[in-house]
Structure 1
Amino acid sequence: MLHFEHINILGINFTKITENQLIKSLIDDHKHKKNRFIVTANPEIVLAARKNKEYQKIINHADYVTADGIGIIKGANILNTPLPERVTGFDTMLKLLKYSNKNKCKVYFLGAKETIIKDTIINVQKDYPDIIISGYHNGYFKNPDPIIKDIKQKQPDFIFVALGFPKQDYFIEKYREISNSIWMGVGGSFDILAGNINRAPEFWINHHIEWLYRLIQEPKRFIRMLALPKYLLLIYKEKFKQKK
């Protein structure tokens, strides 16, 4: 793994990295059979980690923690510790799927509802026909042992875990040593891969209002969206402390 500087934002050590640098570094890690854990953290995750020190420790133990959310970028700028750009989990996953397709890599998919994971696999097979799908399982399991046994036996190159935070991060931290893979928590990304939810068009993404597009699609996310003003308030409090 290439060495990258880290920027601490409210207790989380973000990797100072661009999307292209991350993909290049992960490809290098893959070629050298390195075990890696990627967290793409947004303000909601930062707030959850502040309340739960064990979760904070798990995130900071990851090999890469990227700024998934314009709020992280804005917070870093306010604290005069800028990060180069937003690096989203979904875009990172797509680039790794493209690389996997080109190089006939083995990929394992874990998470989401049974119907969603099945549609995800169908679409991945259609869009990335040369990927070797090592296995897949929905995220509604009580006993992880069969899944762990399956991953351990198959040793995939990439493992995408869509259990939502913090569950996916706890899972990866606990089991990552069973396979020298690139492990990545991808939240609700399977919903988009499955075609169940549309991703925001480029205009919304480029103007940093992808969150609004998702809120329009999923109004029930409103309570979760309140994390952003809470996060920014903490950022300004931290800024004020630094000035004293």
Structure 2
Amino acid sequence: MRRVNILGVEISAVNKETAIQYLLKNMDKARGRYICACNVHTTVTAHENLDYQAVQNNSFMTLPDGKPLSSVGIRRGYSEMGRVTGPDFMEQVIAATEKSDARHYFYGTTQENLNALLEYLKVNYPQLSIVGCEPSLFRPLTIQEETELCDRINESKADFVWVALGAPRQEKFCAKLSKNTNAVWIAVGGAFNVISGVIPRAPQWMQDHSLEWLYRWSKEPKRLFKRYAETNSKFIFYLIKEKVEKR
């Protein structure tokens, strides 16, 4: 799997099709490991925090969840790169494995939102094997709780563990616990709520033109303004700084 280094973060040079093909073809290698979906915000966070950067770089795959990342990759010669969002990747894997023996475990968000996801999956993927689901406790787990969670996952014989806790917590969570199981853990942020319809997704034309961020900002302007303004500015600054330093 080829990767492109963007501000110290090794982003997998994949697109929607090649990402899922690589995972399903290499499931034996993916077991006990984890997958991240990296965007501008997490890239800047990882650039500034070396511990979190190591988590991203030690993943089985770090998906380019964000047009700026795939655009940088393409400009650097990785022509195959394309945006791979958490919701898209999750639903693609689910669709591809619905009629197989693959088992899925869901961890994160609230019980109410988790119920909405399960209802959606039962209607749209009735043959999907769901072997476990539990909401986030919205606090760090104790060592005993971590052990018990891994035991439940192993007892369920899950192949995929989908984790929705929000970055950077979810990636650290997956990196710490995945090795204690025989499943691949996939950090997908708000994918549970997006796929179930709890959080409306941007119209397709906005997704196609990389304007999904603008749609999200219009829905939560107060919460997202500082994040977008600060991290996007830092991302551009760090890229320019990196380019100057390499001259």
TM-score, structure 2 as length reference: 0.90
Residue 12 (structure 1) aligns with: 9
Q: Distance in 2 between matches of 1:155 and 1:166?
A: 27
Q: Does 1:228 align with 2:202?
A: no
Q: Does 1:55 align with 2:55?
A: no
Residue 237 (structure 1) aligns with: 241
Distance 1:56 1:97, change over 3 A: same
Aligned length: 238
Report the alpha carbon displacement of residue 81 of structure 1 after superposing the two structures with TM: 4.7
Instruction: Give the partner amino acid of 1:114.
Output: Q
**1:59-208 → structure 2 map (5 Å cutoff):** 59-76=56-73, 80-82=76-78, 84-140=81-137, 142-143=141-142, 144-145=145-146, 146-208=148-210
Determine which of 220, 230, 236 is the counterpart of 1:218.
220
Over aligned residues, Cα RMSD in angstroms?
A: 1.8
> Quick check: 2:87–2:195 contact (8 Å CA) kept in 1?
no
Report the alpha carbon displacement of residue 71 of structure 1 after superposing the two structures with TM: 1.8
Instruction: Give the partner amino acid of 2:217.
Output: L
Report the alpha carbon displacement of residue 214 of structure 1 after superposing the two structures with TM: 1.0
Report the alpha carbon displacement of residue 102 of structure 1 after superposing the two structures with TM: 2.3
SS in 1 for 2:158: coil
Instruction: Give the partner amino acid of 1:212.
Output: L
Instruction: Give the partner amino acid of 1:131.
Output: L
Q: Distance in 1 between matches of 2:246 and 2:170?
A: 34
How big is each residue's C-alpha offset from its partner over 1:85-143, in whole Å with a ceiling of 9 and x where there is no partner?
11222111110010121214210001111211121112111111111111111112544
Q: Distance in 2 between matches of 1:207 and 1:34?
A: 32
Instruction: Give the partner amino acid of 2:173.
Output: F
Report the alpha carbon displacement of residue 180 of structure 1 after superposing the two structures with TM: 2.0
> Quick check: 1:164–1:188 contact (8 Å CA) kept in 2?
yes
Q: Distance in 2 between matches of 1:33 and 1:105?
A: 15
Report the alpha carbon displacement of residue 82 of structure 1 after superposing the two structures with TM: 4.2
Report the alpha carbon displacement of residue 9 of structure 1 after superposing the two structures with TM: 0.7
Moved more, 96-105 or 109-118: 96-105
Q: Distance in 2 between matches of 1:82 and 1:29?
A: 21
Q: Distance in 1 between matches of 2:55 and 2:169?
A: 11
Instruction: Give the partner amino acid of 1:68.
Output: D
SS in 2 for 1:140: coil
Task: Give percent identity, aligned residues only.
Answer: 29
Q: Distance in 2 between matches of 1:82 and 1:237?
A: 21
> Quick check: 1:75–1:232 contact (8 Å CA) kept in 2?
no
